[in-house]
């Protein structure tokens, strides 16, 4: 018969199954009773059955209350496999040199970019009137291409003495004139530990990493301007330059405060791995431990391995000694990071020492 398995609307077998089913329904009142009992135990039972969490937690930021919870990588590999490769003419890593003292920092940064096989182009913005040929030669010995720029003077009084040249950083936005579509800016006091080519696939116009202070306010909403992702635009550049002297912001913090106001509601918050600020190690050591597993860029904010005194130059031959001299800073907290920098500097000398020596003898190739 064609409809062997077909049950008519009513048949005795089905009726039997339904009756059995309805007998099962007689268990429902028992289940409800158990449920009610369990609820009574849940509500009135001993409180220690339910972990109470940390009552202080709501008054801490999640970062001051940091715990090792997440182990997912910060970049999605499947998504990255769909993106276009980095193009060294359109995607650039840019740093800056406003004083000779930072030249070994730039050279070492360049070496660490080589070491992680960074695919982007490299550009070094410098102020020709302030930078000696010797320093420029050392700074570019590991691959940065020198690019002279015009200084943008501070529009307000009261700028921190270390930040007097920092408005020149806004020049980054004008680099579309060179065909640059996206760039990562790194301060000269940063060291690269992992490749970060993925940043060039960020679709937004601007991204940066939130700033961190050792004392209050600690982890903040505002970003640190030592590492920036941006898509240059000369019209944005002109708008910025027109506004630096009229906008209302904290003059002491110079371009960082201006940029925080300019991009206040549009900046994309990038993971701390892109600007692993030493202040995090001091503020929340547990967070630093996890951060080191993913860190792309370490930012030497609290110690400067290649400087002495108040941002003064250290002779190239004295750099290792200078690093050791800083071991004791902050109660010895940054010895490991200082050693990381010293190791990168030794490698820089191994690979580029001949050129650096020629720079120091006055044989410039730039």
**Residue 91 pairs with which residues in a beta bridge?**
182
Nearer to ligand NAG, 197 or 211 (CB): 197
CB of 120 to ligand NAG, least distance (A): 14
In this chain, which residue has its C-beta nearest to ligand NAG? 117
Nearer to ligand NAG, 117 or 265 (CB): 117
Query: How far apart, in whole angstroms, are the C-alpha atoms of residue 81 and residue 101?
Result: 40
Residues that bind ligand NAG in the complex, under the rule CB under 6 A: 116-117
CB of 249 to ligand NAG, least distance (A): 40
CB of 116 to ligand NAG, least distance (A): 5
**Residue 186 pairs with which residues in a beta bridge?**
227
Nearer to ligand NAG, 85 or 285 (CB): 85
CB of 117 to ligand NAG, least distance (A): 4
Query: How far apart, in whole angstroms, are the C-alpha atoms of residue 162 and residue 102?
Result: 12
Nearer to ligand NAG, 87 or 195 (CB): 195
Q: Tell me the CB-side half-sphere exposure of residue 294, using CA atoms within 13 A.
A: 16
CB of 195 to ligand NAG, least distance (A): 6
Nearer to ligand NAG, 73 or 158 (CB): 73
**CA trace torsion 228, 99, 256, 161 (10° rounding):** 160
Query: How far apart, in whole angstroms, are the C-alpha atoms of residue 263 and residue 206?
Result: 8
CB of 294 to ligand NAG, least distance (A): 14
Nearer to ligand NAG, 71 or 117 (CB): 117
Residue whose tokens read 């290649």: 306
**Smallest Cα–Cα separation from 287: which of 7, 33, 19, 65?**
65
Query: How far apart, in whole angstroms, are the C-alpha atoms of residue 299 and residue 227?
Result: 9
């Amino acid at each position: 018969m064609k409809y062997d398995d077909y049950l008519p609307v009513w048949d005795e077998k089905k009726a039997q199954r339904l009756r059995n089913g309805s007998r099962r329904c007689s268990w429902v009142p028992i289940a409800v009773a158990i449920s009610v009992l369990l609820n009574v135990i849940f509500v009135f039972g001993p409180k220690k059955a339910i972990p109470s969490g940390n009552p202080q937690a709501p008054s801490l930021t999640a970062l001051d209350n940091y715990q090792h919870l997440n182990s997912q990588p910060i970049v999605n590999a499947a998504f990255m496999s769909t993106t276009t490769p980095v193009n060294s003419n359109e995607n650039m890593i840019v740093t800056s040199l406003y004083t000779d003292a930072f030249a070994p920092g730039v050279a070492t940064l360049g070496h660490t970019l080589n070491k992680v096989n960074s695919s982007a182009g490299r550009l070094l913005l410098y102020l020709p009137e302030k930078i000696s040929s010797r320093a420029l030669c050392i700074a570019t010995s590991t691959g940065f291409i020198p690019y002279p720029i015009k200084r943008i003077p501070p529009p307000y009084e009261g700028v921190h003495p270390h930040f007097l040249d920092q408005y020149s950083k806004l020049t980054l936005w004008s680099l579309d004139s060179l065909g640059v579509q996206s760039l990562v800016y790194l301060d000269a006091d940063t060291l690269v530990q992992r490749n970060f080519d993925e940043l060039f696939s960020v679709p937004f116009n601007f991204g940066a990493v939130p700033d961190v202070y050792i004392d209050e306010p600690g982890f903040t909403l505002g970003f640190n301007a030592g590492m920036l992702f941006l898509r240059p635009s000369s019209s944005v550049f002109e708008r910025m330059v027109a506004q630096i002297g009229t906008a209302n912001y904290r003059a002491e913090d110079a371009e960082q405060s201006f940029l925080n106001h300019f991009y206040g509601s549009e900046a994309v918050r990038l993971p701390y791995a892109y600007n692993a600020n030493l202040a995090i190690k001091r503020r929340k050591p547990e967070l630093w431990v996890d951060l080191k597993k993913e860190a792309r860029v370490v930012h030497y904010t609290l110690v400067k391995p290649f400087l002495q005194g108040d941002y003064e130059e250290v002779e190239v031959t004295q750099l290792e000694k200078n690093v050791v001299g800083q071991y004791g800073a902050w109660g010895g907290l940054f010895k490991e990071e200082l050693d990381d920098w010293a190791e990168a500097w030794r490698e820089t000398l191994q690979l580029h020492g001949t050129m650096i020596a020629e720079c120091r003898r006055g044989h410039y190739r730039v």
